[in-house]
Structure 1
Amino acid sequence: MSVSYAVSRVLRRASPFLFQKRYESTVASLTKDEILILLRPPFTNWSNTIRDAEKVVGYPTSFMNLRCLLSDEFANLALYLRKLVGSNHLVMQTAKNVLYGDSKNLQPWGLIILLLSKSVKTTSTLPVKKVEEQQRILAELTEMIRTGHLIHRGIVNVPFAKRSKNTESAIFGNKIALLLGDYLLVTANGMLAGLRNSDVSYIISTALKDLSEGEFFGERDEQNMPLPGKPKTSGEDYQITFDTTSISVDQVIGKPRREWTARTVFNGVSLLGRGCQAAMVLNKQSKEMENYAYHFGCHVGLAWQAATELQQLTSDSKDQFCLASAPVLFALEGNPDLYKIIDQGKNDIKDVDYEDLKFNILKTDAVDKTKKLYEDHAKKATAYIEGMGENESVDMIKKLINTF
């Protein structure tokens, strides 16, 4: 595929007319199946691994939300998104990331839950098909909650005093973000209730609580975007916990590893961990196995998040990156004077000189520390899943963890 794509680009540049004629004659001779193959997204190591994993679970998890997205209610709401096409509203950026994103944002949480469910033998008295159906619903509703949360975060704060005709699209976009996000969350809660399992409902509700608290964790600008805490040199930084009820803001803010872990766990990783834990409940596994599954899910989420932030900072893109990401926090630890640049974004993070900040971050050892952070969590996630057994699903999970 890559060779033919390169050849096609050369032909297009050399002679557009010749390329068009050759393209038309080639397409005309292709079968329907061959055309569908050509229309697939480009193959990468990540997408290939996802496809292999989907074969293991026997379910195309790439289209998990398709049933929801094609429903009449959602279609009516989605029509209003057309009014925002071309605008820079955050809800449109979120929609583009969800629809067209790559490994940077399409972390297959539902697929991990299904693979984990398949990796252990169920001891439930229910028929196997029934248990598998419940696990599929759990994976779907986890993805829905995550997507709904991302859409809600696309709301733009428009102060009443600054409202005018120029802000109408932003205010309209906020209404759509609320409606779309609420629809996904309500649908997910309906599916959760349909499982008729009080233990699973409690576990997922705990993750929803964490998501809500995460929106108030640490300092924020006017758009509720996170700002890092001022670096502290004293105190233990490596003592971390996934028990969100025992995390104190004062104890973690300013300590890069602990602050990043707490922010990331509250911001969604807890949801992945609880989804994995709930899968073990449906499988009627022991409390010890449930705890293993929760810690496994948290380590997977943290490993992927560290890898994502590393990719964003080391790429050639000039897009904004999260000021509370691991590379930024590690850079502040090594060079506290960089906090002067962060101070520019107290009111709005857009005021920060990101190019200058990125240049200074790359001069520190922040990239190496972030890479080590990813490797640490990837190793721990691998150790947890290896403790659950040896089979095709376990091997596929290990491949997903290390392909990112």
Structure 2
Amino acid sequence: MISTTSLFSPVDNDLRLLTENLKRLVGARHPILGAAAEHLFDAGGKRIRPAIVLLVSRATMLEREITPRHRRLAEITEMIHTASLVHDDVVDEAELRRNVPTVNSLFDNRIAVLAGDFLFAQSSWYLANLDNLEVVKLLSEVIRDFAEGEILQGINRFDTSLTLDAYLEKSYYKTASLIANSAKSAGILSDVSTEVIDNLYAYGRYLGLAFQIVDDILDFTSSTEVLGKPAGSDLISGNITAPALYAMEETPYLETLIEREFSEPGDIEKALSIVKESHGIERSRELAAYHAQLALKHLDCLQPSVSAQSLTDLADYALSRLY
């Protein structure tokens, strides 16, 4: 599997600076938020979203140095992402994320909700200070999309009439919107042409969908140790993703199990084995590969550079997590 270390080498120092800055931006005034921030930004995340912002910044600035606004955009992106994870964990009542205790399990739900709110508010404040109305609009939309994605997921729990299109729309809100709009924003800050900006948005959109579909496959195929949360937890909580959607087409009995919310003994085990024995995983892999290919088509607008190469390799990395 490709490692993020080699992928992100063009922005290695930028990412180190980012981590130091994030703790400073969030932490000082409130010891408990400071502790939550320290915990969040240390929890071994791969920093994929800010890395994409920094790679796009470098790929569009080329010989020129990236600006403090590019760096701040990367920090804001990671803050928004982290805030959404904190709220996600509360909604999902998760105890662990990446094998590290969640904020809600360390402090409590009330503090976790407030910590997420604080991060969203803090990111909005730094966003406004970029003094670029277009970027403010794009990233405010992302914050709204997150909420909409969570609400859709909540409303559609155990709903077997969910379509593939509705699943992709929810995946856009929950994952791809941030990657697409922050990549686009980096292009805006670099002052590139509208055509390049639109391509960067499309690249982020399709790459984000590929990442989300891969995550949804790993939820079925990885062990609890690797996932850092219980395997199959999406389906068990009624969140129907691509592998289960495809499996239902083949084995309608899965619908029955989901509709009765796995209320009878052995339902969960039966449902998980139906998904694993169907072509659902394989078809989801093809769906992810299709989106990764679409993402690559939109990078042709960039001049060759090490950063542009890393953006290309990211599409392979998204898929390589399956093997």
Name the TM-score class by shorter chain. 0.7 to 0.9
Q: Look up the match of 2:271.
A: 357
Matched, 1:325 2:235: no
Aligned partners of 2:181 and 2:49: how far apart in 1? 11
Query: Is 2:43 the counterpart of 1:99?
Result: yes
The answer for the alignment partner of 2:215 in structure 1 is 308
Kindly state the Cα deviation for residue 152 of structure 1 after the two structures are TM-superposed.
Answer: 1.4
For 2:220, give the aligned amino acid.
L
Q: Which residue of 2 aligns with 1:109?
A: 49
The amino acid that maps onto 1:99 is A
Q: 1:344 to 1:399 in 2, by over 3 A?
A: same
Classify 1:96/1:181 alpha carbon distance in 2 versus 1 (closer, same or farther; 3 Å). closer
Aligned equivalent of 2:60, options 120, 132, 135: 120
Report the Cα offset of residue 134 of structure 1.
1.0
Question: Residues of 2 paired with 1:355 and 1:171: CA distance?
Answer: 30
Bigger Cα displacement from structure 2, 108-117 vs 317-326: 317-326
Is contact 2:196–2:301 with CA below 8 Å preserved after alignment?
no
What is the TM-score normalised by the length of structure 2?
0.80
Query: What is the aligned partner in structure 2 of residue 266 from structure 1?
Result: 173
2:270 maps to amino acid: D
1:403 Cα deviation (Å)? 2.2
Does the 8 Å CA contact 2:14/2:54 hold for their aligned counterparts?
no
Q: CA deviation digits over 1:46-102, x for unaligned, max 9?
A: 4xx322343312525267344333532354335589xxxxxxxxxxxxx6897145x
Residue 81 (structure 2) aligned to one of 146, 156, 178 = 146
**Which of the pair has the greater relative contact order for Cα pairs under 8 Å at 6+ separation?**
2
Partners of 1:100 and 1:132 lie apart in 2 by 26
Q: CA RMSD in A?
A: 3.2
**Aligned ranges 1:169-184 → 2 under 5 Å:** 173-184=108-119
Deviation, 1:107, is: 5.9
Q: Hey, what's the Cα distance between the residues in 1 that align with 2:183 and 2:312?
A: 15
Deviation of 1:269 (Å) = 1.3
1:2-401 matches, within 5 Å, as 45-46=1-2, 49-61=3-15, 64-70=18-24, 71-73=27-29, 75-79=31-35, 99-100=43-44, 106=46, 108-121=48-61, 128-129=64-65, 131-155=66-90, 173-217=108-152, 220=155, 227=157, 229-231=159-161, 254-256=162-164, 258-317=165-224, 319-322=231-234, 323-345=239-261, 353-401=267-315
Q: Which secondary structure does the structure 2 equivalent of 1:369 belong to?
A: helix
Change (3 A) 1:379 1:77: same
Which residue identity lines up with residue 329 of structure 1 in the other structure? L
CA gap of 1:218–1:340, structure 2 versus 1, over 3 A, is same
Query: Who wins on radius of gyration, i.e. which is larger?
Result: 1
Change (3 A) 1:341 1:144: same
Tell me which amino acid in the other structure corresponds to 1:72.
A
TM-score between both structures, scaled by the size of structure 1 = 0.65
Q: Percent identity, aligned pairs only? A: 23
- Write the letter of the residue equivalent to 1:109: R
Equivalent residue for 1:163?
Answer: none
Classify the secondary structure of the residue corresponding to 1:64. helix
Structure 2 residue runs of 5 or longer lacking an equivalent are 94-103, 225-229, 319-323
